[in-house]
Amino acid sequence: MVDSVEQMFEKSGALLKGHFLLASGLHSPVYWEKSLVVQYPEYTEKLCRMIAEHFRKSGAQVVAGPTTPGIILAYETARQLGVRGIFAERDESGPGRVFRRGFKIEPNEKVLVVDDVMTTGGSVRQVIDAVKKLGGIVVGVGVLVDRTAKSPDLGVPFYACHRADVITYPPEQCPLCAKKIPLVKPGSSQPKT
């Protein structure tokens, strides 16, 4: 029986160890490959249940997440709350995210924002902005893993299924580089050249 969030990530092969180039440009010996955990419906259901239970009394009328795997998380969390689940895509005309495909948020509609792994909070902030542009009210943010240096201040209640303290290094100070361990960009099996 898998009990903890970290065990779910380990058993699914989503907790990787090595030498990784993060989206922030920093290097890390650990990477949380969230896509690997959401391929297992049992884990996805359990993780989203944690978020849904935490925000059950928030009055959320819709759950929104950023594209992928936020789509899966928004759907499953919404299913457990008995509300709609939608997703925001990258805005092709500029920075940020937008709701397309007929997804709507009514003025004053209460929205729970979900995401997978929070490192910088960029995707979550973009979804929050997209919700507010449509007049929605963000009632909270739920993520699977919070790996920020300190819990983010998003101006709304925040919940993480798991808090991970992950070591990061600026490239010029990276001991993994000094040991000549190949640098891997997540989502790719090729070392960075």
Residue-wise pLDDT tens digits, 63-120: 999 998 899 999 999 999 999 999 999 998 888 999 999 999 999 999 999 999 887 8
In a domain, 80, yes or no: yes
pLDDT of residue 162: 93
pLDDT of residue 3: 67
- Where are the alpha helices (H) located in the chain, listed in sequence order? 5-11, 34-37, 41-54, 70-81, 122-133, 175-178
Q: For residue range 113-166, list pLDDT tens digits in order.
A: 999 988 788 899 999 999 999 999 999 999 999 988 777 889 999 999 999 887
Closest by Cα among 97, 112, 105 to 142: 112
In a domain, 77, yes or no: yes
Q: Answer yes or no: pTM beyond 0.95.
A: no
pLDDT of residue 2: 53
In a domain, 55, yes or no: yes
Count CB atoms within 10 A of the CB of residue 193: 5
In a domain, 30, yes or no: no
| Domain that residue 92 falls in | 38-165
- CATH code at 80? 3.40.50.2020
Count of structural domains within the chain? 1
Count CB atoms within 10 A of the CB of residue 48: 27
C-alpha 129: how far from chain center = 16
In a domain, 8, yes or no: no
